[in-house]
C-alpha cells in the first residue's frame, strides 16, 4: 500500500508532519517550512493523485456551552448536608467529551441533600445559573431528580416500587428524590 493510500482520510493535528515538498504539493490547510509539509489545522487528509496535492479538510466542532434552562445528566460525586457535586456528562441531549462540574444546592436550607441523592447516582437536572463556571443545578421539578441509583449496601440497581427504591438482591429500601422517568432514561 502506497504512502498516499495510507494517509488518505486520516485525522491530523496542527503541526503534524505529513511529508516533504518532493513528494507532495501543499494544498489548503497545510504549510511548508524548510521543505517539510505540516498540517495547519485539525482535520482529515485529502490526496489528489492527479495533482500530487495534499490538503486538510478542517473538522468543525461546535463548542457546546451550558446555558440556563438546559437539561443535563450527571453522576453525583460528593454529597454534603446542603449540597451535592455533580459531574455533568450530557448537556442538552449531547454527550460531552469531558464533563462540566455542577452543584445541586438546598436553596431553602431546610432540605437535606443526604436524603435526596447519594454518591454514584445518575441525576437529571436543569441548569439554573452558570456564574463562576460551576453549573448550579435544580432537581425541584418532578421531571428532575435521580434517574438511576444503586444500593449503598450491595451495589445492585435499585428498583422503583411506588416511589420507594428497593434493592432486589438484599432487600434494602433507600430514599431519594427520584425523577418521574426513573429507570427509563436512555443515556447515550
pLDDT at 61 (0 to 100): 65
Q: How far apart are CA 75 and CA 124, in angstroms?
A: 9
Domain coverage including residue 15: 7-58
**Entry pTM:** 0.68
Is 130 within 8 Å of 78 (Cβ atoms)? no
Q: Which three cell numbers stand for residue 37?
A: 509539509
In a shared domain, residues 135 and 43: no
In a shared domain, residues 44 and 76: no
Q: Which three cell numbers stand for residue 15?
A: 503541526
Q: Which three cell numbers stand for residue 133?
A: 463556571
**Tens-of-pLDDT digits for all 188 residues of the chain?**
566 667 788 888 888 889 899 998 999 999 999 999 999 988 899 999 899 999 999 876 667 889 999 999 999 999 999 999 999 999 999 888 889 999 998 766 677 898 899 999 999 999 999 988 889 999 999 999 999 999 999 999 999 988 889 999 999 999 999 999 999 887 76
**R_g of the chain, CA atoms, integer Å:** 25
Query: Has residue 185 been placed in a domain?
Result: no
Q: How far apart are CA 13 and CA 29, in angstroms?
A: 11
CATH number at residue 36: 2.40.50.100
Q: Which three cell numbers stand for residue 102?
A: 455542577
Query: Has residue 157 been placed in a domain?
Result: yes
Number of domains in the chain: 2
In a shared domain, residues 44 and 79: no
Amino acid at each position: 500500500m502506497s504512502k498516499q493510500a495510507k494517509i488518505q482520510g486520516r485525522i491530523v493535528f496542527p503541526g503534524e508532519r505529513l511529508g516533504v515538498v518532493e513528494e507532495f504539493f501543499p494544498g489548503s490547510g497545510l504549510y511548508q517550512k524548510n521543505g517539510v509539509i505540516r498540517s495547519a489545522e485539525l482535520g482529515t487528509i485529502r490526496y489528489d493523485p492527479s495533482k500530487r496535492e495534499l490538503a486538510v479538510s478542517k473538522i468543525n466542532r461546535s463548542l457546546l456551552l451550558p446555558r440556563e434552562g438546559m437539561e443535563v445528566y450527571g453522576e453525583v460525586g460528593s454529597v454534603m448536608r446542603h449540597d451535592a457535586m455533580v459531574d455533568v456528562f450530557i448537556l442538552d441531549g449531547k454527550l460531552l467529551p469531558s464533563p462540566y462540574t455542577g452543584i445541586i444546592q438546598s436553596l431553602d436550607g431546610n432540605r437535606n441533600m443526604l436524603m435526596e441523592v447519594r454518591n454514584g447516582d445518575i441525576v437529571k437536572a436543569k441548569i439554573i445559573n452558570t456564574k463562576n463556571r460551576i453549573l448550579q443545578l435544580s432537581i425541584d421539578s418532578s421531571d428532575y431528580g435521580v434517574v438511576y441509583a444503586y444500593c449503598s449496601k450491595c451495589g445492585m440497581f435499585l428498583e422503583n416500587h411506588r416511589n420507594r427504591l428497593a434493592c432486589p438482591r438484599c432487600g434494602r429500601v433507600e430514599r431519594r428524590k427520584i425523577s418521574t422517568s426513573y429507570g427509563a432514561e436512555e443515556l447515550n
